[in-house]
Amino acid sequence: MGKTHHEQHRIQNIGWLRAAVLGANDGIISTSSLVLGVAAAHAAHGNIVLTAVAGLVAGAMSMATGEYVSVSSQADTEKAAIAEEQTEIENDHEGEHRELTMIYMHRGLDRSLAAQVAQQLMAHDAIGAHARDELGISELSTARPFQAAWASAVSFSVGAALPLVVTALVPVQSLMFSMVSATLGALAILGGIAARTGGAKVLPGIVRITFWSTLAMSFSVGVGAAFGAIT
């Protein structure tokens, strides 16, 4: 008996990779921008550190909640669609067989082969075949709310830890320069790792993340400076 052939594709990482990269990226950018905005308003060092801590905690909880609600909604939609498909299979098995046959014909099979494939797949796992080939729901794309929430909260906290450490250790006089340098360096590394893990080109990923992060920090500094000038 031949050995079972298993393949590992980068797309299998897409679920956790998306949540992890989004969380870490948001943790670094939002906390750094928050710190830079408060520092530009000439706040005391203790207040800036407190701002960084509050930003880390609030951001992690916000990311977890947002991801859980969003992915839960996706999961509910998937469950409802599968339940509806199950009812259709039970009430009109022949009609669903014809529907699946047409799907395979559109993918290049002739009618007789498409009908045979549809028949065998429905005999093996009718709902699985329709979920995958008609609804586009597969094991790789199935929504996992807890996984997404946990990954987002942890990755945000890890990302936000960098600007928090920089804020705590660097004097106010050189805080803004140190924060921008550390943030852009960390984001460039993160963008490169994410691109390589996903199989994409590294340089465009780095350029994209550093450009938009610089823009976000610039706006925050401008708001903070304007507020500091008013007060």
CA atoms of 213 and 221, how far apart (whole Å): 12
More confident residue, 17 or 215: 215
Q: Which residues contact 194 (CB under 8 A, 6 or more apart)?
A: 17, 21, 205
Cα–Cα distance, 227 to 38 (Å, whole number): 9
Write the pLDDT tens digit of every residue in 195-208.
776 677 888 888 88
- How much of the chain is helix, strand and coil, in % rounded to 5? 85, 0, 15
CB atoms within 10 A of CB 190: 22
- 134, 34 contact by CB (below 8 A): no
More confident residue, 230 or 138: 138
Here the tokens at position 199 are 């199989």
In the structure, what pLDDT confidence band is assigned to residue 30 with cuts at 50, 70 and 90?
Answer: very high
The dihedrals phi and psi of 219, each to the nearest 5 degrees, come to: -60, -40
Q: What are the pLDDT digits (tens) for 143-152?
A: 678 887 888 8
How many other C-beta atoms lie within 10 A of the C-beta of residue 32? 30
Highest mean pLDDT among 32-36, 68-72, 113-117, 127-131: 32-36
3-state class of 187 per DSSP? helix
pLDDT at position 9: 46
CA-angle at 156, arms to 53 and 191, nearest 5°: 125
Nearest of 2, 52, 46 to residue 27 by alpha carbon: 52
For residue range 111-125, list pLDDT tens digits in order. 888 888 888 878 887
